[in-house]
Amino acid sequence: MTDYGHDLLFGSFITPTNTAPDRVVALAQLSERVGLDLATFQDHPYQPRYLDTWTLLSWVAAVTERIHVAANVTNLPLRPPAVLARAAASLDLLSGGRLELGLGAGGFWDAIEGMGGRRLTPGQSVEALDEAIDIIRGIWDADDRSRLVVDGTYHRVDGAKRGPAPAHDIGVWIGAYKPRMLRLIGRKGDGWLPSLSYVASLQDLADANAIIDEAATAAGREPRAVRRLLNVGGQLTHAASDRLLVGPPEQWAEQLAALTIEHGFSAYVVMGDDPATLTVVGQEIAPAVRALVDAERGTASGPGVPRSAN
Amino acid sequence: MDYGHPLLLGTFLTPTNDRPQAPVELARLSEDLDYDLVTFQDHPDQPRFHDAWTLLSWVAARTTRIHLAPNVLNVPMRPPAVLARAAASLDLMSRGRVELALGAGFFWDAMAGMGVPRLTAGESVDALREAIDVMRGIWAGDAGSRLRLDGEHHRLAGAAGGPAPAHNIPVWVGGGRPRMLRLIGETADGWVVPGGTASLRELAAGNDRIDAAAAAAGRDPREIRRIANVSGRFADTRDGFLVGPAGQWVDELLPLVVRDGVGTLVLATDDAEVLRRFAAEVAPALRAAVDAERSTAGTAVGSVPSIHVRVRRRDGVDYAGIPAGLREAAVEPGDAVYPTVRSGYLRGGSPGLVLRVHDAAEVADALAFARRQPVPLSVRSGGHGISGRSTNDGGIIIDLSRMNRIEVLDATSRTVRIEPGARWGDVAESLHPLGWALSSGDHGGVGVGGLGVAGGIGFLGRRHGLTIDHLRAAELVLADGTAVRVSETENPDLFWAVRGAGFSVGIVTAFEFQADEVGDVGFAQLVHDATDTADFLQRWGAAVEAAPRDLTSFLIIGRPREGRVLAQTMTVVDSDDAETILARLQPLANLAPLLGQQVRITPYAGVVTAPEGAHEGQGEPVSRSGLLEHLTPGFAQDAARLVASGAAYWFQVRAMGGATGDVDPDATAFAHRSANFQVVAMGASPARLDAAWDAMRRHFTGLYVSFETDTRPERLLDAYPPRTLARLRDVKRRYDPENVFRDNVVVEPSAGTPSAGTPSAGVELRAAVPRTGAVTRAVVERGASATMPE
């Protein structure tokens, strides 16, 4: 049982379908209106039915005021890291510190190669992500006067100028399931962002958390330096059930509180594109989970307390 | 040389990030000052600048009219296939406001430091050419394509194509060396002249090279817009090029336009005052001077579409003669958005021109233009037409989809004015907050126009009648372009015809419907084992006829699978009371073994939701309709045989009766008021379907035009009984004697035998597959949801 003690975040996972961009944007605006903390979008640049995620994130940030935005998660093989770093800093500056950087090593290699990207093995892609994080953090670290050199196998910079510094410490949240990636998160990530539907059991989540914790400790970091986020799907129904997130709001709240207290998760990103569900999550479930978790932790964070996204 | 491009004025703003919103504010000011374009340089190696794409996206979201472009985009640092999708995305989101100015890269040391492979100047031109091919390939491809391009520098290895941008994104290229100028002449849509006054002196020489390359490539040099960035300072007295009073600016900029062919002047400044003075003092005078000069010189003003667009034009359409007011929104085969407008829901099409209209005057203009072209004419609202074809091959479509306003005219009488391009799902969503609804059909994507002039056999039909029974008045444009209003008291003969055969007398530009008070409704989707198909049909029919009017049920039976036949019923009970709903559904539930059930209480808007996305219909639908009073044992046996034969992949029975039958058969052109059911069969092969269907016609009292694609002459009499047909012909003779409106069931104005003027049934080669959103509609719905008792 591990609770890392992070404040709780709730978000939406919005399908960036390009046939009706207005509806996609409206769902993000609704997410803000109903009190969610995050609006996130998947990034599959090889998918012609989706809006380009970076363009969409920029647009959404421009028409919202409070909510944070993130790719869930950025397809690194098709987005060169040095340019990505500066784009991220730009968007963070323009939005007043509302960007978080979800990152993924890539998975659909046929499609990536089809777009002109380089095919990597899973192992190579972890290495590439490792190098990319160094480049991204190096660019953001505008105060460092040293020459920025990352002489990686897959990504290189040599003497690229540093800066600009983002408006806030952008969280580097990484989508991952396998041990090598989890260890990378422990060493270098600010967050772990898996999807509940991709794991077989809660035990898998616990095992993964343990790997991250161990790697963090070995790297001299506190395990709590890594926020645990979770993409979740579910169904709001009248009748309670014994299934995870299939039931009434009270059941959702209890189950999410249990995931927080027992498995250390502190951010829940709701899939499904359903405005009614997002509304209930923002207006009913999120406050209920916060109350349950506060009670369990013996803390009381009253309403109106600002919640950072990190 | 003056290429005659309409003069556009833009701004070139420095994307500095020390005050992050400063460039955004100047961009918004540019829009407020009526500049046509705002641009930003792109130097991803430069930490003091915003990322250009992020900034452009942000600015696009905060503006509504002004166009946007990088000036110029650093292509070596951005994978072109991803860039193509980003540009298409931004173009879609901004409704066609993106222009893409590209550069081959310049500060190679800084770029190499960022990890970009270093290229020679020559290589960088080759790489840019490949990148342009990649981008255009993505924009022009569709999701099913597997694009391949094996360049030295850029590759596509099986990438899917799409999305199509909202407009043909112009590809402009910056550069001044001969090799780059040749590239521009051969393939670009615009030349961004390198900055600096010195370069402006090289304009004529650069133009010569570009024009020579264009001509050698078979292009018209006027396809290529010339874009020049200029900067200067306002001063009281002259002190150099563009340093002086506004009048001097006008004098110095004028020759750039009328002598050197610059079509777009982009003012580089970050000084709001300079932006204002230029807009107020230079722009109007410069435009006037250019107009005067061109008028004197007799310069033809306009844009020449690219060769890629011109080669795809169809014979018989006078593209140059498209009325000016319709040109901007017109779509032709070479346009980026063409794939999204060419086809209907169930039918593939290859029109030569789609005229998207916005009001009745434009409808009249479009109609007059179309009548002068010797090509087919189709009228489209939602694009679901089956009998109303709403697309064609090589002809013109008048597309009403942008005429989609829905407004309440009178709350007391619940009178709403709805334009034909609205879809019934949109109507349901708009009326729901008022506690109202209009029965339509079974799919929210269907357009108001097509259904609203044919009948409308919908989910609230037994209680509330046909859609046309709610029509109180309409505005339509007649064949001769006259706009008329019709109602019981105004042009009553047309009002009669509009309700059931409106497609053959004019183009309705607005409907005035009286909505019903409808609260939440019960919506049940049940799946039964209907292997004993005849028995099931008969029992279902009897149960529906015996049910109170608040129940309306539609039945779909698919092809047998592994010896089993499944019947799916979708039933609406016009009540929000769970007990009532369950009581009404019980007799249906008991008809046969129940294999699946989903019941919920939902707004009517939740039953007919309007999906998004372009139609992707292919081929020609083969559809047959019949109306009948009862599902008799004889009919049920024939229908069971049809289902078992597999000749119909889609077999639907819709309950009618109830309020539909309260209306006098002579009150509207929809005369079949005694029918309690409408039957539809769709198949892949007309011959095979007709073999079964013709044998069943003895059961029918008529047909519903909207679901009939059989063009044999006798079908007209099935659709319109003799008295109705005679009256319709009379109306037709007076208002459409030349039979302009023949895209739906053809009503020849002349007496005599009905004729089939529509495309022959023989072309029905491929099956049209309906996207059956209605069958698999998601049912994750919060709200009262009732479970059926076993």
Distances (CA, A) of B778 to A19, B501, B508, B546, B610: 19, 35, 34, 30, 13
| Cβ(B783)–Cβ(B602) below 8 Å | yes
CA distance B782 to chain A (A): 6
Would you state the pLDDT for residue B199? 77
Question: Hey, are the CB atoms on B55 and A90 less than 8 Å from each other?
Answer: yes
Select the residue of A54, A62, A90 nearest B17 (Cβ to Cβ). Answer: A90
Question: Hey, are the CB atoms on B161 and A54 less than 8 Å from each other?
Answer: no
Question: Hey, are the CB atoms on A54 and B24 less than 8 Å from each other?
Answer: no
Contacts of A26 in chain B (CB under 8 A): none
For B487-520, what is each residue's pLDDT tens digit?
999 999 999 999 999 999 999 999 999 999 999 9
Q: Name the helix (H) or strand (E) containing B169.
A: none
> What is the amino acid identity at position B589?
A
Q: What is the DSSP string of B418-451?
A: E-TTSBHHHHHHHHGGGTEE----S-TTSBHHHH
What number is the average pLDDT over the span B730-742? 96
Say how many CB pairs under 8 Å bridge A and B.
Answer: 193
Asked if B118 reaches chain A (Cβ–Cβ under 8 Å), the answer is no
Would you state the pLDDT for residue B772? 32
Question: Hey, are the CB atoms on A116 and B154 less than 8 Å from each other?
Answer: yes
Which residue from B529, B543, B544 is spatially nearest to B594, judged by alpha carbons?
A: B529
Q: Which residue has the tokens 């150099």?
A: B240
Select the residue of B17, B92, B113 nearest A18 (Cβ to Cβ). Answer: B92
Select the residue of A46, A82, A238 nearest B160 (Cβ to Cβ). Answer: A46
Question: Hey, are the CB atoms on A114 and B159 less than 8 Å from each other?
Answer: yes
Q: Name the helix (H) or strand (E) containing B172.
A: strand B171-174
CA distance linking residue A78 with residue A73, whole number of Å:
12
Would you state the pLDDT for residue B751? 65
**pTM score > 0.80 for this model?**
yes
Q: Does the pLDDT at position B336 exceed 90?
A: no
CA distance A36 to chain B (A): 19
| Cβ(B447)–Cβ(B477) below 8 Å | no
Select the residue of B54, B110, B112 nearest A90 (Cβ to Cβ). Answer: B54
| Cβ(B133)–Cβ(B103) below 8 Å | no
Question: Hey, are the CB atoms on A82 and B53 less than 8 Å from each other?
Answer: no
Q: What is the ipTM of this complex?
A: 0.96
Percent of the residues in chain B that have a pLDDT greater than 70, as a whole number: 95
Site from B40, B85, B340 to mutate, A interface, most A CB atoms within 10 angstroms: B85
Contacts of B21 in chain A (CB under 8 A): 94
pLDDT band at A1 (very low <50, low <70, confident <90, very high): low
Q: Name the helix (H) or strand (E) containing A256.
A: helix A249-263
| Cβ(B459)–Cβ(B608) below 8 Å | yes
Kindly report whether the peptide bond that precedes residue B163 is cis, defined as omega within 30 degrees of 0: yes
What number is the average pLDDT over the span B571-591? 96
For B705-727, what is each residue's pLDDT tens digit?
999 999 998 999 999 999 999 99
> What is the amino acid identity at position A201?
S
Site from A41, A49, A52, A271 to mutate, B interface, most B CB atoms within 10 angstroms: A52
Chain A residue with minimum CA distance to B142:
A48
For A263-298, what is each residue's pLDDT tens digit?
999 999 999 999 999 999 999 999 999 999 999 998
CA distance linking residue B181 with residue B211, whole number of Å:
9
B265 beta partners = B9, B228
CA distance A1 to chain B (A): 33
What number is the average pLDDT over the span B608-619? 88
Q: Helix, strand or coil for residue B168?
A: coil
Contacts of A233 in chain B (CB under 8 A): none
Q: For residue B558, what are its two tokens? A: 């698919």
**Cβ atoms within 10 A of the Cβ of B120, count?**
9
Domain B521-607+625-735: top CATH class: alpha beta
Question: Hey, are the CB atoms on A52 and B47 less than 8 Å from each other?
Answer: no
pLDDT band at B613 (very low <50, low <70, confident <90, very high): confident
Would you state the pLDDT for residue B778? 28
Q: What is the DSSP letter of B603?
A: -
Residue ranges of B 72-101 with Cβ closer than 8 A to chain A? 77-82, 85-86, 88-90, 92-93
Contacts of A283 in chain B (CB under 8 A): none
CA distance linking residue B721 with residue A146, whole number of Å:
89
Which residue from B706, B713, B690 is spatially nearest to B744, judged by alpha carbons?
A: B706
Quick one: CATH architecture of B8-297?
Alpha-Beta Barrel (3.20)
The phi, psi pair for B390, rounded to 5°, reads: 60, 5
Q: Does the pLDDT at position B764 exceed 60?
A: no
Site from B782, B785, B787 to mutate, A interface, most A CB atoms within 10 angstroms: B782
| Domains by residue range for chain A, with CATH | 9-300 (3.20.20.30)
The separation between CA A182 and the C-alpha centre of its own chain, rounded to angstroms, equals 14
CB proximity list for B601: less than 8 A, separation 6 or greater: B520, B521, B522, B523, B576, B578, B581, B783, B784, B785, B786
Would you state the pLDDT for residue A240? 93
For B115-159, what is each residue's pLDDT tens digit?
999 999 999 999 999 999 999 999 998 888 899 999 999 999 999
Domain boundaries defined on chain B: 8-297, 312-399, 521-607+625-735
What number is the average pLDDT over the span A2-9? 95
Select the residue of A45, A114, A235 nearest B158 (Cβ to Cβ). Answer: A114
Would you state the pLDDT for residue A310? 45
Residue ranges of B 610-669 with Cβ closer than 8 A to chain A? 612-614
The separation between CA A141 and the C-alpha centre of its own chain, rounded to angstroms, equals 21
Contacts of A93 in chain B (CB under 8 A): 17, 20, 50
Question: Hey, are the CB atoms on B156 and A159 less than 8 Å from each other?
Answer: no
Q: What size, in residues, is chain A?
A: 310
Question: Hey, are the CB atoms on A86 and B21 less than 8 Å from each other?
Answer: no
Chain A residue with minimum CA distance to B82:
A45
Chain B residue with minimum CA distance to A278:
B782
Select the residue of A55, A111, A115 nearest B90 (Cβ to Cβ). Answer: A55
| Cβ(A161)–Cβ(B116) below 8 Å | no
Distances (CA, A) of B227 to B171, B190, B231, B369: 12, 7, 13, 34
Q: Which residue has the tokens 């960088």?
A: B124
Contacts of A159 in chain B (CB under 8 A): 113
What's the CATH number for B312-399?
3.30.43.10
For B41-67, what is each residue's pLDDT tens digit?
999 999 999 999 999 999 999 999 999
Question: Hey, are the CB atoms on A83 and B781 less than 8 Å from each other?
Answer: no
What number is the average pLDDT over the span A185-202? 95
Chain A residue with minimum CA distance to B50:
A90
For A50-91, what is each residue's pLDDT tens digit?
999 999 999 999 999 999 999 999 999 999 999 999 999 999
Mean pLDDT of chain B: 93
Chain A residue with minimum CA distance to B20:
A94
Select the residue of A59, A90, A142 nearest B61 (Cβ to Cβ). Answer: A59
Q: Helix, strand or coil for residue A124?
A: helix
| Cβ(B474)–Cβ(B508) below 8 Å | yes
Question: Hey, are the CB atoms on A55 and B82 less than 8 Å from each other?
Answer: no
